Amino acid sequence: MHLLRIKILLLLTIGTSILFSCQNTEPTQKELTTKKEKTTLKDAYEEHFLIGTTLSKQHINQEIPKAAALIPREFNAITAENMMKWMNIHPAKDSFDFSMSDKFVALGQQQEMFMVGHTLVWHSQLADYMNEMTDKEALEAHLKNHIETIVGRYKGKIDGWDVVNEALNEDGTLRESIFLKVLGEEYLEKIFRWAAAADPSAELYYNDYNIEQPAKRKGCIEMIKKLQAKGVKIDGVGIQGHWSLLGASIKDIEDSILEFAALGLKVDFTELDITVLPNPWDLKGAEVSQNFEGSPFMNPYPEGLPDSVQVKLANRYQSLFELFVKHKDKINRVTFWGVHDGHSWLNNWPIKDRTNYPLLFDREFNPKPAYFEVLKIGQAIDPPVN
């Protein structure tokens, strides 16, 4: 009996001390060091969402030493900017070119990056021979082989696939792509199923621009619901995020996060950039075929961004990241479409050879005021303990 009482006392003492040590909120030296060291984007957001960038050929070949150092320091996710697009990876009917995509994957593995394959099925940047593929059976077999070959090659390596890119019109209806015309609406269901079978562990996304806009968002939700009702695996939606200083509105973006998350999907911002140049046509999104004449008026900052605009850009990024942090439980990844301003596609769209400033790093790879805003917001989520 006496022995039993001693045992109970001993257990109680051990239990209490475990409980006490758990309740002790004093940070350990290791925790203190870790929190203070969150001086890069990926570290500042590491417990909340991934911070990504897109890699082009020159990044993968590590041709620019400053970019080669900056990318693994600031980012923990990479997307293939162009090398996995149809015309590059599947340039001839019976041959693939994996030279760049293999290098992309090898670099990503070496740097322990979350890797996104972009993109399996897109109406744009197709190889020329695709225009002749008007036979339903032949196109279907070709598409299946395209997906199985590419996803299968990178099984267990590429973490997520933009299975289909930009399949919707602005009014939310399905785009009249070669895939829709020849195969009918069922092509969507099929490509997701083929991708899931080729790598069951990869995340599968629908990716598009302007899907934060109400009409297109509605169409996107209907399309995804239909796929889900058929038992198709779709893990996330990629809101591209090609925006300007003025739009999209925070309300539309917030509504989109909530509505897409309500479908049980992960929400990713997959191609974020903010144009600061004139847009008299009020173009939204990223329809790559849009092209206009240039003029000095349309290219107002060839020698550098005025401080006043720099501040507007920083404020815009601040509002966006405050929103992302508010909904960090629903957001999985925020990827910038480019590493630095000099590299952005927005220097050439919708007018060629302009000087745009849409990203967080300038042409010399130095962080801009917008970078420090974004960093500060990330650091503040988990305030350092003094």
Which of 345, 357, 361, 371 binds ligand G3I (CB under 6 A)? It is 345
Contact string 295-314 vs ligand G3I (x = CB under 6 A) = --------------------
Alpha-carbon distance of 374 to 45, in angstroms, equals 10
The residue from 212, 259, 271, 373 that is catalytic is 271
What is the total count of residues that contact ligand G3I (CB under 6 A)? 10
The verdict on 240 binding ligand G3I (CB under 6 A) reads yes
List, as one string, the DSSP characters of 9-51. HHHHHHHHHHHHHHH--PPPHHHHHHHHT--SHHHHTTTT-EE
List, as one string, the DSSP characters of 51-117. EEEEE-HHHHTT-SHHHHHHHHHH-SEEEESSTTSHHHHS-BTTB---HHHHHHHHHHHHTT-EEEE
Q: Which stretch binds ligand G3I (CB under 6 A): 11-19, 26-34, 81-89, 211-219?
A: 81-89
The verdict on 79 binding ligand G3I (CB under 6 A) reads no
Contact string 107-146 vs ligand G3I (x = CB under 6 A) = ------------------x---------------------
Nearer to ligand G3I, 17 or 125 (CB): 125
> Minimum Å distance from CB 361 to ligand G3I?
16
Nearer to ligand G3I, 63 or 135 (CB): 63
The verdict on 39 binding ligand G3I (CB under 6 A) reads no
Based on the residue annotation, tell me whether 46 is a catalytic residue of this protein: no
Nearer to ligand G3I, 111 or 291 (CB): 291
Q: Which stretch binds ligand G3I (CB under 6 A): 14-22, 77-85, 316-324, 375-383?
A: 77-85
Alpha-carbon distance of 34 to 5, in angstroms, equals 44
Residue 371: strand, helix, or coil: helix
The verdict on 82 binding ligand G3I (CB under 6 A) reads yes
Check the CA dihedral 217-220-226-227 and report its sign: negative
Nearer to ligand G3I, 114 or 349 (CB): 349
The verdict on 288 binding ligand G3I (CB under 6 A) reads yes
The verdict on 203 binding ligand G3I (CB under 6 A) reads no
Nearest-CA neighbor of 189 among 144, 123, 157? 144
The verdict on 173 binding ligand G3I (CB under 6 A) reads no
List, as one string, the DSSP characters of 251-304. HHHHHHHHHHHTTT-EEEEEEEEEE-S--TT---S--TT--B---GGG---TT-
The verdict on 273 binding ligand G3I (CB under 6 A) reads no
Based on the residue annotation, tell me whether 271 is a catalytic residue of this protein: yes
Give 382-386's long-range contacts (Cβ < 8 A, gap of 24+).
382/35, 382/38, 382/47, 384/32, 384/35, 384/36, 384/38, 385/27, 385/31, 385/32, 385/35
Which of 271, 341, 362, 373 binds ligand G3I (CB under 6 A)? It is 271
Decide: 221 and 178 in contact? Cβ < 8 Å.
Answer: no
Nearer to ligand G3I, 67 or 377 (CB): 67
> Minimum Å distance from CB 284 to ligand G3I?
12
The verdict on 373 binding ligand G3I (CB under 6 A) reads no
Decide: 302 and 357 in contact? Cβ < 8 Å.
Answer: no
Residue 155: strand, helix, or coil: coil
> For the stretch 305-317, what's the b/e string if a residue is b when 16 or more beta carbons lie within 10 angstroms of its beta carbon?
beeebbebbbebb
> Minimum Å distance from CB 264 to ligand G3I?
25
The residue from 81, 166, 212, 373 that is catalytic is 166
The verdict on 279 binding ligand G3I (CB under 6 A) reads no
Q: What is the CA radius of gyration of the chain?
A: 24
The catalytic residues are 166, 271
Q: What are the residues binding ligand G3I (CB under 6 A)?
A: 81-82, 85, 125, 165, 240, 271, 286, 288, 345
